[in-house]
């Protein structure tokens, strides 16, 4: 099935130049099915949600996944308007880091790291050209962080 080849499409990164639009394989697939138009605008949100539900279910079979040495993603849900990620911060001594800096400062640092990884979270052109956000629900040993990464945060 062609959709399986796209698996883990949210985790993979793509290289792109700032001045050119590079459609992903998934964008091409969505265009071929007339789910999005040539300008990557969503034409059939219900159909897109159906495809993304299947992909979320497929991707969830590989979870939990360690995305770096600091974070494990345990749940993933993708829709036409947002991606929801739930996970744990597993950095050794993170509790001490939180105690030293304070919750607000730690939240700013987490957000800064998320912004630096915008290409991972806004990989596809349809995510860039339509209202879209990524919601994070991250738990550490002592705290819980709910963050939203919006297109404007990424300069899209």
Ramachandran quadrant class, 11 (left: phi over 0; alpha: psi -120 to 50; beta: rest)? alpha
Answer for the pair 83, 134: CB distance below 8 angstroms, yes or no: yes
What is the Cα–Cα distance from 33 to 80, expressed in whole angstroms? 15
Domain of residue 48: give its range: 2-154
Per-residue pLDDT of the chain (156 residues; tens, 9 = 90+): 333 333 333 233 223 222 245 789 999 999 999 999 999 999 999 999 999 999 999 888 888 988 777 889 999 999 999 999 999 999 888 999 999 999 999 999 999 989 998 998 999 999 999 999 999 999 999 899 999 999 999 998
Extended beta strands in 9-156, E state: 65-66, 71-78, 82-89, 133-139, 144-150
The CATH number for 129's domain is 3.30.300.250
Give the chain's domain count: 1
What is the Cα–Cα distance from 83 to 72, expressed in whole angstroms? 16
pLDDT of residue 79: 96
**Bridge partners, residue 83, by sequence:** 78, 134
């Amino acid at each position: 099935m062609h959709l399986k080849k796209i698996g883990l499409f949210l985790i993979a990164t793509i290289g792109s130049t700032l001045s050119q639009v590079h459609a992903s394989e998934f964008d091409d697939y969505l265009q071929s099915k007339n789910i999005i138009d040539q300008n990557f605008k969503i034409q059939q949100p219900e159909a897109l949600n159906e495809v993304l539900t299947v992909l979320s279910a497929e991707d969830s079979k590989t979870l939990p996944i360690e995305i770096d040495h600091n974070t494990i993603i345990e749940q993933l849900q993708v829709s036409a308007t947002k991606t929801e990620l739930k996970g744990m911060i597993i950095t050794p001594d993170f509790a001490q880091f939180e105690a030293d800096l304070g919750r607000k400062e730690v939240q700013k640092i987490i957000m800064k790291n998320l912004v630096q990884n915008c290409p991972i979270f806004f990989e596809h052109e349809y995510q860039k050209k339509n209202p879209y956000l990524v919601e994070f629900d991250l738990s550490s040993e002592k705290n819980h962080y709910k963050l939203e990464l919006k297109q404007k945060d990424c300069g899209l």
